[in-house]
């Protein structure tokens, strides 16, 4: 599975695929079976040809790629989100968004090999197998049921279902469509960054070693993703960034630029178990998703800070190109910081970041006279 949490404004990515990981206390992770395909071939903008269609799914083609879903309305919605992500990417990174594909086949279904090959030939530089909110819940429920049946054989069926309902309290709630759509744009942002700035496939272990997702540093990978999100999600992250609680979670920029994604080690360990459904629950799930959530909050905050400070609206594209060439942030700031309106070192950048945060810190509540 890949990664997007759809709760409390946070996302979790499983580095070996691109599906959704729910952010509730019980998390279902589907690993390895849904790897993205990559290519650098050119693309046209025609409607979906027969080679890119499946009889049971609708297909919509746009200048941004090909989008498969159970019905035309959902396929069009996915295509719209891909277009929004592409527009944001081009504004922030100054490069055309690589064309790709999203495959919402339902129930964790991988992209069929023949379709994946046809999409690659047609010019899909990235491919994401996607689960919407309803499908994620169904997969979660199925995985949890298998786990409980294996661990508690002979349990009364009513009691079993009650345990599942208690572990997945959202089972009867309507899907959060807005958050789900923002999650997809988040995922597309990862792929756009990788394919626009790194020429090797995202699944090339030699280029991605030491990173949670693609070959780039984890902070940049997540910054690209959060910059693609909806305004509602961005505002939610900003509210957390400027809350009093943030003081205990935000890191100096030198540490943030070097920090691995909080989920990286756990996801690598789970991936070594092989494909299938893996459960993280209870205190560990809350800790991991909490740490990851603050990582995304700081990524959003650093993005806002740099956009406020820099004179270049596409400053992240210059950073990404430099980092993709093997450079580091200290060297980029020394060489290019001044000309983009940013300080010339990480130490100076961190001081400016601290001042920027302080200027936006919440005012303490007034004390009442006795």
Q: Which residues contact 100 (CB under 8 A, 6 or more apart)?
A: 64, 65, 82, 124, 125, 126, 127, 128, 188, 191, 192, 195
Per-residue burial over 135-167, b if 16 or more Cβ lie within 10 Å, else e, is bbbebbbebbeebbeeeeeeeeeeebeeebeeb
103 found inside a domain: yes
64 found inside a domain: yes
Runs of H (alpha helix) within the chain: 72-93, 113-122, 133-151, 157-167, 177-197, 205-208, 218-226, 231-241, 253-258, 264-271, 282-309, 315-324, 329-332, 346-359
Place of tokens 């890119």: 52
- Alpha carbons 88 and 82: distance in angstroms, whole number: 10
- Alpha carbons 220 and 224: distance in angstroms, whole number: 6
146 found inside a domain: yes
222 found inside a domain: yes
CB 12 within 8 Å of CB 92: no
Position 30 scores a pLDDT of 36
Position 107 scores a pLDDT of 73
**Mean of the pLDDT values across residues 338-361?**
96
- Alpha carbons 152 and 193: distance in angstroms, whole number: 45
Residue of higher predicted confidence among 268 and 125: 125
216 found inside a domain: yes
Poorest-pLDDT segment among 2-16, 81-95, 147-161, 283-297: 2-16
What angle separates helix 72-93 from helix 218-226, to the nearest 10 degrees? 120
Q: What percent of the chain has pLDDT over 90?
A: 55
**Mean of the pLDDT values across residues 192-199?**
92
370 found inside a domain: no
Closest CA to 174 of 118, 224, 134: 134
Residue of higher predicted confidence among 111 and 47: 111
The range of the structural domain enclosing residue 145 comes to: 27-159+176-305
Poorest-pLDDT segment among 19-33, 107-121, 197-211: 19-33
* Pairing mode, strands 276-280 and 27-31: antiparallel
Poorest-pLDDT segment among 87-96, 98-107, 272-281: 272-281
Q: Which residues contact 300 (CB under 8 A, 6 or more apart)?
A: 223, 226, 227, 234, 237, 238, 241
351 found inside a domain: no
pTM: 0.78
- Report whether pLDDT(281) > 90: no
327 found inside a domain: no
Tokens representing 101 are: 């594909």
Position 274 scores a pLDDT of 53
CB 108 within 8 Å of CB 146: no
Q: How many domains does the chain have?
A: 1
- Give the three-state DSSP class for 263: coil
Over the stretch 229-275, which tens digit does the pLDDT of each residue have?
A: 999 999 999 999 999 999 999 999 999 999 988 776 565 555 555 54
**Mean of the pLDDT values across residues 279-292?**
56
Position 210 scores a pLDDT of 52
Cβ atoms within 10 Å of 110's Cβ, excluding its own: 17
Phi, psi of 4 (to 5 degrees): -125, 120
């Amino acid at each position: 599975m890949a990664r997007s949490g759809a709760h409390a404004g946070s996302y979790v990515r499983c580095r070996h695929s691109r599906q959704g990981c729910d952010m509730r206390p019980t998390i279902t992770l589907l690993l390895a079976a849904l790897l993205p395909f990559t290519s650098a071939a050119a693309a046209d903008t025609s409607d979906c040809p027969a080679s890119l269609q499946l009889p049971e799914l609708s297909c919509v083609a746009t200048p941004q790629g090909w989008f498969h879903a159970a019905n035309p309305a959902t396929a069009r919605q996915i295509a719209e989100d891909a277009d929004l992500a592409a527009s944001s990417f081009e504004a922030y990174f100054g490069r055309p968004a690589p064309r790709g594909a999203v495959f919402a086949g339902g129930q964790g279904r991988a992209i069929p090999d023949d379709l994946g090959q046809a999409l690659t030939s047609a010019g899909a530089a990235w491919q994401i197998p996607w689960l919407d909110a309803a499908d994620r819940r169904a997969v979660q429920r199925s995985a949890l049921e298998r786990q409980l049946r294996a661990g508690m054989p002979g349990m009364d069926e009513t009691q079993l279902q009650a345990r599942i309902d208690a572990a997945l309290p959202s089972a009867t709630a309507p899907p959060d469509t807005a958050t789900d759509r923002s999650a997809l744009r988040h995922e597309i942002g990862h792929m756009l960054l990788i394919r626009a700035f790194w020429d090797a496939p995202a699944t090339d272990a030699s280029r991605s070693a030491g990173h949670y997702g693609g070959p780039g540093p984890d902070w940049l990978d997540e910054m690209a993703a959060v910059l693609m999100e909806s305004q509602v999600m961005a505002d939610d992250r900003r509210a957390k960034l400027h809350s009093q609680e943030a003081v205990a979670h935000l890191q100096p920029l030198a540490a943030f630029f070097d920090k691995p994604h909080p989920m990286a080690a756990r996801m690598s360990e789970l991936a070594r178990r092989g494909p299938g459904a893996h459960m993280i629950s209870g205190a560990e799930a809350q800790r991991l998703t909490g740490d990851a959530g603050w990582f995304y909050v700081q990524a959003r905050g650093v993005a806002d800070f740099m956009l406020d400070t820099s004179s270049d609206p596409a400053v992240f594209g210059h950073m990404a190109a430099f980092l993709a060439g093997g450079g580091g942030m200290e060297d980029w700031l020394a060489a290019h910081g001044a000309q983009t309106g940013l300080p010339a070192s990480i130490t100076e950048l961190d001081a400016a970041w601290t001042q920027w945060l302080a200027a936006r810190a919440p005012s303490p509540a007034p004390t009442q006279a006795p």
